[in-house]
Amino acid sequence: GQEYELTCPDANKYYTWGDAATSAQYYINPAGSPVEDACRWNEAGSNMGNWAPVNLGVGKGPTGQTYISIFANKPTNPDGKLNFNLEIIGDVSGKCAYIDGEFYNNGAVDPSGCTVLVTGTATYKIY
């Protein structure tokens, strides 16, 4: 497989909104989505672009701790599904995955998704 680094904003050095730190959110489109549709603001029901079914969140907090997550793209597309699975692996505080259209937080189904603390390195595994 291939690996790509994701930008992980540092709260002490990155953009703030109303004096609050921000993080990066990545829209995850279904496999096979054409680039011209997946990489733009799209329309309701398209399951692509800003209507993608799943988001990945990454951010380094003001105390230096890095958190990463997998969660539904609510309220835009809360019922959308991907046609593949995602899992966070590596030096992390728990188990976080999206398997067969369900979010799992430490092995239990959790519709709100999951977030883990990264204590070393971590990877989003797509399969």
Would you say residue 2 lies in a domain? no
Does residue 97 contact residue 56 with C-beta atoms inside 8 Å? Answer: no
What pTM was computed for the model? 0.93
- pLDDT bucket at 97, cuts 50 / 70 / 90: very high
pLDDT reported for residue 107: 98
Number of domains in the chain: 1
**Model confidence at 119, in pLDDT bands (50, 70, 90)?**
very high
Range of the domain at 80: 16-126
43-75 confidence digits (pLDDT tens): 888 999 999 999 999 999 999 999 999 999 999
Pairwise CA distance, residues 96 & 86, whole Å: 9
119: alpha, beta or left? (left if phi > 0; alpha if psi -120 to 50): alpha
CA distances in angstroms from 59 to 14, 56, 69, 122, listed in the order given: 10, 10, 9, 13
- Is residue 1 included in any domain, yes or no? no
